Amino acid sequence: MSRTAFCSLSLLLLLSTQSVSATGSASGACPTCSAVKSSMICDYHVGKLHNRSYQPSCLDYARYVDIDGAHAKAAWYYLLGNRPDMALRAARKALGEGQSYAAEYAWFALVIEGKAEETAKLMKHHLPTIRAIGKGFTRDLDLMKTLYPKVGFRNISHET
Residue 104 forms part of a structural domain: yes
How many domains, in total, are found in the chain?
A: 1
What's the farthest any 2 CA atoms get from each other in the chain?
67
- Is 117 inside any structural domain? yes
pLDDT at 158 over 80: no
Per-residue confidence (pLDDT) for residue 159, from 0 to 100: 54
Nearest-5° angle of CA 72, CA 76, CA 77?
A: 115
Residues 6+ away with beta carbon under 8 Å from 63:
74
Q: Is 7 among the domain residues?
A: no
Gyration radius of the chain's alpha carbons? 19
Q: Is residue 23 part of a domain?
A: no
118 assigned to some structural domain: yes
Which residues constitute the domain of residue 118? Answer: 30-155
pLDDT at residue 136, as a whole number: 81
pLDDT tops 80 at residue 59: yes
The answer on pLDDT for 156 being more than 80 is no
Per the model's pLDDT, the better-predicted residue between 126 and 108 turns out to be 108
User: Nearest-5° angle of CA 155, CA 104, CA 98?
Assistant: 160
> Model pTM?
0.77
Asked whether residue 127 carries a pLDDT value surpassing 80, the answer given is: no
Q: What is the pLDDT of residue 25?
A: 41
CA–CA distance, 41 with 111 (Å, rounded to integer)? 26
Q: Of 97, 154, 95, give the one whose Cα is nearest residue 130.
A: 95
